[in-house]
Amino acid sequence: MYARLSSIMFPIATLLFIGAIVWGYQEHQEKNSVLIKAENQYQRAFHDLNHHMLSLHDQLGQTLAVSSASQGMQRKGLVNVWRLTSQAQNEINQLPLALLPFNKAEEFLSRISSFAYRTAVRDLNKQPLTPVELKTMKSLYKTAESVNAELGKVQDAVISDHLRWMDVEVAMASENNPHDNTIIDGFKTVDKQMGEYPENDWGPSAMSADRKLSSAGLEGKDMTAEEIRNKAVEFLGRQASGEEAAVTEDGGKTDLPAYTVTVKGKGGANIQMDYTRKGGHLLWFMNPRDVTSRKLNFDTARNKGSQFLIRHQYKDMTPITYDEYDHVAVFTYVHTIDGVKIYPDKVTVRVALDNGEVVGLQASDHVFAKKLLTPGKAKVTKEKAQKGLNPDFRVEDYSLAVIENDMRQPILCHEFLGKINDHRYRIYMSGETGLEENIEEIPDSAKAIYK
């Protein structure tokens, strides 16, 4: 009996064993295929990074070599610097460096990109490169040279020693590994070199691009935690009392010290608010309660949002965009002066569509916007600016508006709202030159604003 059973089971077990070997081999092959593909992608990104960094260094040198009167060549060179920097940033993002401190290098490349773009888009005939900007480019040229030298060492090691990027990924993922990998050490050196670039060498173009939130330009005195608690309770009204509001201080050693206020809401969710320490300006407020039904229409929700802003001293605000999700209406309002919309000075209001309660406010743009007393007057008339529009653009509405140009400077524009190719756009024509300053598409969700 046992002999008969074994004669049956042995072939079955053999087949199963062979099947397991074949399956394991196939799994191993597939795993190797995935690893080889990943390794090839890493190697390609790394060698492309080296190529583009070398090209960036060459392009900086060529731009510095042309005459200061050759604004066309300077602009072309700066555009190429911007393009190459963007490509280098993209290739860094493809490498397994997520666990490696490489933020200084990424910030450095971002600043080069911003500097080159903001400088190239302006009219260099009217605003040629300043001595500070030329000094910045010379310094960038030297820094790029030393960075390329270090990257070249890493590339030589990768090629001569057949180093694998997969080993880098494993080394960084290991908690116990001392991270003595050649590639890791090389990139740490690159990050350190880029991080040593002096802040004050960037010049006005990059500074205008990288506007950081700071309390330096805010009005008012430094507020205490108790004063902030009182402001929060007054803002929330019957939703909170002084005993329920917990206040903590954040960012004490940063450019923007602030307070966070936490209040327990009716549904159990915590209402949160952020205030600046200087002046006690509300940055944002959020009541994350569930909104499970939609009972209010668009007009009622808009009126609720507008009344909320007036009640809290946000005066002369005009709704410009609208969106809706999870039974919550989201309106963006901009400040208006004499009928002119000031787009940099804006707030976003979230209105619950079950009862019209405002459950969110984002006001940081309003707090840090440059406060204009008057929008000024356009040198170019509406009629002349309109002649510069595409003949197929059908104008539906018009107003004057202040927007920010590429240098983050406020500029008065003629704003034409209309349709072309079955899509609705806002086109901003400069009140100074009559040329297009900006264009943006209006989503379908905002069409109720412009009925």
DSSP 88-152: HHHHHHHSS-TTS--HHHHHHHHHHHHHHHHHHHS-TTTSPPPHHHHHHHHHHHHHHHHHHHHHH
- Name the least confident of 18-22, 32-36, 207-211, 267-271: 207-211
Judge whether 301 and 351 are in contact, CB under 8 Å.
yes
Judge whether 111 and 210 are in contact, CB under 8 Å.
yes
Over residues 393-417, mean pLDDT: 89
Q: What pLDDT, in 10s, does the model give residues 418-430?
A: 998 888 889 999 9
Per the structure block, which two tokens stand in for 258? 């602030």
- How high is the pLDDT of residue 325? 82
- How high is the pLDDT of residue 314? 92
**Residue found by looking up tokens 């919309």 in the block:** 341
Rounded to an integer, what distance in angstroms lies between the CA atom of residue 401 and that of residue 48?
44
- How high is the pLDDT of residue 75? 84
Rounded to an integer, what distance in angstroms lies between the CA atom of residue 340 and that of residue 345?
12
pLDDT band at 104; cut points 50, 70, 90: low
Contacts of 109 (CB under 8 A, 6+ apart): 85, 88, 89, 92, 194
- How high is the pLDDT of residue 55? 87
Q: What pLDDT, in 10s, does the model give residues 166-198?
A: 665 555 555 445 444 565 666 666 666 555 555
Over residues 399-415, mean pLDDT: 87
Over residues 399-408, mean pLDDT: 84
In this model, does residue 202 exceed pLDDT 50? no
Per the structure block, which two tokens stand in for 32? 């190797």
Rounded to an integer, what distance in angstroms lies between the CA atom of residue 437 and that of residue 186?
44
DSSP 9-59: HHHHHHHHHHHHHHHHHHHHHHHHHHHHHHHHHHHHHHHHHHHHHHHHHHH
Phi-psi category of 25—alpha, beta or left, where left has phi over 0 and alpha has psi -120 to 50? alpha
What is the pLDDT of the chain when averaged over all its residues? 78
Rounded to an integer, what distance in angstroms lies between the CA atom of residue 428 and that of residue 436?
6
- Name the least confident of 257-261, 376-380, 404-408: 404-408
Rounded to an integer, what distance in angstroms lies between the CA atom of residue 236 and that of residue 140?
51
- How high is the pLDDT of residue 142? 83
Q: How far from 280 is each of 87, 218, 258, 276, 284, CA to CA, in Å?
A: 42, 10, 8, 5, 12
In this model, does residue 70 exceed pLDDT 60? yes
Fold of the domain spanning 382-450: Nuclear Transport Factor 2; Chain: A, (3.10.450)
Nearest 5°: CA angle at 95, between 91 and 100?
120
Residue, of 413 and 74, whose pLDDT is higher: 413
Q: What pLDDT, in 10s, does the model give residues 290-305?
A: 888 899 998 999 999 9
Residue, of 129 and 208, whose pLDDT is higher: 129
CATH architecture of 225-368: 2-Layer Sandwich (3.30)
Give percent helix, percent strand, percent coil of the chain, each to the nearest 5: 50, 20, 30
Contacts of 382 (CB under 8 A, 6+ apart): 398, 414
Over residues 353-370, mean pLDDT: 90
Amino acid at the residue 221: K
pLDDT band at 412; cut points 50, 70, 90: very high
Q: How far from 383 is each of 28, 145, 434, CA to CA, in Å?
A: 71, 52, 10
Q: What pLDDT, in 10s, does the model give residues 303-331?
A: 999 999 999 999 999 998 888 888 899 99
pLDDT band at 243; cut points 50, 70, 90: low
- How high is the pLDDT of residue 169? 56
- How high is the pLDDT of residue 204? 44
pLDDT band at 208; cut points 50, 70, 90: very low
Rounded to an integer, what distance in angstroms lies between the CA atom of residue 303 and that of residue 301?
5
- How high is the pLDDT of residue 181? 56
